[in-house]
Chain A
Amino acid sequence: AQSVTQLGSHVSVSEGALVLLRCNYSSSVPPYLFWYVQYPNQGLQLLLKYTSAATLVKGINGFEAEFKKSETSFHLTKPSAHMSDAAEYFCAVSDRNNDYKLSFGAGTTVTVRA
Chain B
Amino acid sequence: DVKVTQSSRYLVKRTGEKVFLECVQDMDHENMFWYRQDPGLGLRLIYFSYDVKMKEKGDIPEGYSVSREKKERFSLILESASTNQTSMYLCASSSLEGGEETQYFGPGTRLLVL
Residues of chain A having any CB pair with chain B under 8 Å: 4, 9, 32, 34, 36, 41-46, 49, 51, 90, 92, 94, 100-102, 104-107
B-side contacts of A101, CB under 8 Å: 33, 45, 48, 58
Interface residues of B (CB under 8 A from A): 4, 9, 33, 40-45, 48, 58, 90, 92, 100-108, 110
The minimal Cβ–Cβ distance linking B100 to chain A, given in whole angstroms, is: 5
Q: How many pairs of A and B residues are in contact by the CB < 8 Å rule?
A: 50
Determine the main DSSP class of B at the interface with A.
strand
For B42, list chain A residues within 8 Å (CB). Answer: 4, 90, 104-107
Across-interface contacts of A104 in B (CB, < 8 A)? 42-44
Tell me if A44 and B90 are in contact (CB < 8 A).
Answer: yes
Min CB–CB distance B76 → chain A (angstroms): 15
**Pairs across A and B, CB under 8 Å, 24 listed:** A4-B42, A9-B40, A32-B100, A32-B101, A36-B105, A41-B9, A42-B108, A43-B4, A43-B90, A43-B105, A43-B106, A44-B90, A44-B92, A44-B105, A45-B105, A46-B104, A49-B102, A51-B100, A94-B101, A101-B45, A101-B58, A102-B103, A104-B42, A106-B40
